[in-house]
Amino acid sequence: MQPDGEPGVRINPSILAADFVNMQAELARIDAADFVHVDVMDNHFVPNLTFGPQMVERIQATSPVPLDVHLMIDDPERWAPGYAELGAASVTFHVEASADPVALARRLRAIGARAGVAVKPGTPVEPLFEHLDEFDQVLVMTVEPGFGGQSFMPETMPKLSALAAEARRRGSAVWLQVDGGISAETIAQAAEAGADTFVAGSAVFGADDPDAAITALRALAAHRHAPR
Ligand code: DX5
Ligand code: ZN
């Protein structure tokens, strides 16, 4: 694993594509990852349903790498701090679901987690610009949230370029994450647009050797990524 904060790119496999009843063994297959991406879905904010804090607490206790929790849930004000309290290194909630994203990010940071904010493909990023320093990560969804195995949406790339330009202008260290349809075929264009943190579900857990897939994705992304 690359140490936290080291310049470069991060590959965060999504356990949505893992075998849920063999989670401990699945986690052991991705120890070359930077973080494990944990998709929490509530069947309200998105049509799908995964798991909640009890399961994430066990993943936290078992995982060889830190947790990157992605909350696709309504009312993150009520639930997000609990994930930070159970020890997740990073907690990302959706701006569309939050009553006050800046206040919630401050609460997450106060607990000791990295605070992330996510935007769906149709949500503009400009309103986040003036608050960029309040977040440790912005997640630009590259598919509609809810399901793994969907096709990457290249039309989301201008949002990433705009965020990268704004981050550069401000000298911000914010991480720019992409999630959905990231594979050996698509990762280079996301890196070129400014992403530095890559979620990959099927491309990692669908591979015969997940650690080799992680290493290959990291090399493809690093090749195209221009450090800020
Ligand atoms: C989708 C989830 C993603 C998903 C990505 O709503 O947020 O994290 O697991 O899966 P792939 O990489 O298969 O598109
Ligand atoms: Zn996700």
Q: What is the pLDDT of residues 55-113, one digit of tens each?
A: 999 999 999 999 999 999 999 999 999 999 999 999 999 999 999 999 999 999 999 99
The whole-number pLDDT of residue 224 equals 85
Q: Which atom of ligand 1 is nearest to the CA of 149?
A: 13
SS3 sequence of 103-169? HHHHHHHHHCCEEEEEECCCCCCHHHHHHHHHCCEEEEECCCCCCCCCCCCHHHHHHHHHHHHHHHH
End-to-end CA distance of the chain: 21
Which atom of ligand 1 has the smallest separation from the CA of 182? Answer: 12
Ligand nearest the Cα atom of residue 148: 1
Q: Is the pLDDT of residue 8 over 90?
A: no
- Tell me the sheet residues that pair with 198: 11, 178
Q: Please check the confidence at residue 1 and state whether its pLDDT lies above 50.
A: no
Residue 126 has phi, psi (to 5 degrees) of -55, -40
Q: Which of 42, 147, 153, 187 to mutate to test the pocket of ligand 1 (most atoms within 8 A of CB)?
A: 147
Catalytic positions are 39, 179
Task: Say which amino acid occupies 35.
Answer: F
pLDDT of residue 4: 43
From the CB of 94, is ligand 1 less than 6 Å away? no
Residue of 36, 119, 202 to mutate, ligand 1, most atoms within 8 A of C-beta: 202
CA 15–ligand 2 middle distance (angstroms): 9
Exposure letters 158-177 (e unless 16+ CB within 10 A, then b) = ebbebbbebbeeeebebbbb
Instruction: Tell me how far apart the alpha carbons of residues 182 and 123 are, in angstroms, rounded to a whole number.
Output: 19
* C-alpha span between 223 and 96 (Å, rounded): 33
> From the CA of 13, how far away is ligand 2's center (Å)?
9
Q: Which token pair is 212?
A: 């080799």
For residue 225, the model assigns a pLDDT of 82
